[in-house]
Structure 1
Amino acid sequence: MNLRLHLSTILYTTFALVAFAGNSVLCRLALGEEALDAGSFTLIRLFSGIVVLLLLWYLTQGRRGSDEPHRQGSWLAATMLFVYALGFSYAYISLDTGTGALILFGAVQITMVLVSLFRGTRLLIVEWLGLVLAFFGFVYLMLPVLNTPSLWGFILMTLAGIAWGVYTLIGRGSVNPLSDTHYNFLKTLPLMIATLVILLLLGDISLSVDGVILAMVSGGVASGIGYAVWYRALRGLSAVQAAALQLLVPVIAAAGGVLFADEVITLRLMISALLVLGGILLIVIGRYYVIQRQLRQV
């Protein structure tokens, strides 16, 4: 049973991280090419997630019921989801990809580790070492494209990272990931409506067919399905493990560039991947082996 749990956690985590990386690419294509404005991208992204998750929830649980306990998400999680999505979109306008990724995932990791420590979790030396190693590998990958961030972009991306860290921590208690994610997205509707009204009043809306399609794919697949799978993966991960694993997202995105965009495999990419993977390996298995060793010595 434990083996099945570990295997399913690995599969769900892998899918979710690939979805996150894909989401990053879709956001970059839409906002970087100015295919639509940041506010519209966020609203279309979230609404597409609502539609896809509603359909999946209805087909698997809503119509014929489910063995899993029925849950309706939380207003806090929905608020954090909206803050993350909106903050990320607007921050991306004034930050380049590398700088934005460093601020976002740095804020996510710091938030989740600090909350875990506040809740009484004591990290072993091997876990601290793994965190430092993984984060160093992440920074090493991003170093060539880092520019001094704008203050406004830095603030927005930091808020987005904190919000995503909190959203992830809330998800660790989910017993019905699909239902929780579906209702979390649904509960962003009041904030979406308020944002739409503001955009209409300001006249700050710019749409294109390509931009709308990118936002729909980002919301329906990479965000909606990806976030539900991430909530399922969190069942088998500690907060520290979940925080560190997300540092793989930029590495996966870079690898995707090699596979699908004919980008070159660089020595920097290989070294960064080894550092991040090595750090995550220390975090994931370090506690287990230390505890087992202590038990054998008793």
Structure 2
Amino acid sequence: MRLFLLTALTMAAFAANSVLNRWGVGRGYIGAVEFACIRLVAGALVLAMLVLWQRGGLAWPGVTGRLAGVLGLSVYLVGFSLAYLGLDAGTGALVLFGMVQVTMFAGAFVTGEAVPARRWAGAGLALGGLALIAAPAEAGLPPGPLLLMALAGMGWGFYSLAGRGATDPLAATAWNFLLSVPLVLPLAVGLGFDRPDATGIALAVVSGAVTSGMGYALWYVILPTLGAARAGVAQLSVPILAALGGAVLLTEVPGLRFWAAAVLVLGGVAWASLPYRSLTRR
């Protein structure tokens, strides 16, 4: 139950990133590239300060998974921001976490992790719910942004798989953010900057320092116990949580189709993720 609650908290942080991005970029408070840069730098600074405070120094956590973590995080951040120039937030979230699902299940096979039939069935049920949400938006989607979001999903999948070997999750997350800065900022500078307003900056800072930095550190803590397959399935709940956040904060109230899909997605995630004994206990 503790693992289930920590996973739910982490998924809520991931969903908050989509809501914050939609709030800032969608309403014109900040550009997509600027949001990504401020988010990354804020996360790097806060995580570095936390490691310095808790450990007394920013010790190198080791090379295991470091390259995959840094590259995966960088690809995710850049692809995520640029894709939202042509996709709405809901469609983007569906493409992102659908690709994460594929990447992490592939990782489970490559690493020899056992994937029981119940977990496959839960994943199928959840994917059916996502397809129900995505159905009205299937036609006319721009291929460029779709490809960018698919690459972002692959990046996040690799980042998550790399995190399973972290012996110090907080330090590993801090170093991933710090080492991603020199990769992302030059690209962002080359694409050009627009001056954001105070609201846009605040939303990007919260996304970087809290829902990204803290959320990703917690993600690295629970990944070794969660496993690649269950981690991939659990993240399918993020688009639903993001839509709920949009309804509350942005007055985007979902319709009947959304609630039907929510039952499928969250039911599938619970079926695939909860221990078997908790489902059969009388």
Say yes or no: TM over 0.5. Answer: yes
1:1-298 mapped onto 2 (5 Å cutoff): 6-7=1-2, 9-62=3-56, 71-72=61-62, 74-199=66-191, 203-261=192-250, 264=253, 266-285=255-274, 288=276
User: How far, CA to CA, are the matches of 1:197 and 1:251 in structure 2?
Assistant: 33
* Post-superposition offset of 1:257: 3.6
Using the size of structure 2 for normalisation, the TM-score is: 0.89
Tell me the C-alpha RMSD between the 2 structures: 2.4
**Contact 1:99-1:149 within 8 A present in 2 as well:** no
* Post-superposition offset of 1:103: 1.3
Using the size of structure 1 for normalisation, the TM-score is: 0.84
Q: Which moved more, 1:240-249 or 1:29-38?
A: 29-38
**Contact 2:68-2:158 within 8 A present in 1 as well:** no
User: How far, CA to CA, are the matches of 1:179 and 1:132 in structure 2?
Assistant: 35
**Contact 1:50-1:182 within 8 A present in 2 as well:** yes
* Post-superposition offset of 1:241: 0.6
* Post-superposition offset of 1:70: 6.4
Q: Which moved more, 1:118-127 or 1:22-31?
A: 118-127
Equivalent residues, number? 276
Structure-2 change in CA distance of 1:96 and 1:146 (3 Å): farther
CA deviation map 1:156-197 (0-9, x unaligned): 111100000010011112221111101110111221342244
Q: Which runs of 5+ in 2 are unaligned?
A: none
1:83 is matched by which residue type in structure 2? Answer: V
- Secondary structure of the residue aligned to 1:94 is coil
Q: Which moved more, 1:277-286 or 1:230-239?
A: 277-286
User: How far, CA to CA, are the matches of 1:233 and 1:247 in structure 2?
Assistant: 17
**Contact 1:72-1:183 within 8 A present in 2 as well:** no
User: How far, CA to CA, are the matches of 2:143 and 2:161 in structure 1?
Assistant: 27
User: How far, CA to CA, are the matches of 2:230 and 2:25 in structure 1?
Assistant: 31
Structure-2 change in CA distance of 1:141 and 1:90 (3 Å): same
Structure-2 change in CA distance of 1:62 and 1:147 (3 Å): farther
2:176 is matched by which residue type in structure 1? Answer: N
Q: Which moved more, 1:39-48 or 1:121-130?
A: 121-130
Structure-2 change in CA distance of 1:114 and 1:75 (3 Å): closer
Q: Work out which of the two has the higher radius of gyration on C-alpha atoms and give 1 or 2.
A: 1
User: How far, CA to CA, are the matches of 1:145 and 1:58 in structure 2?
Assistant: 46
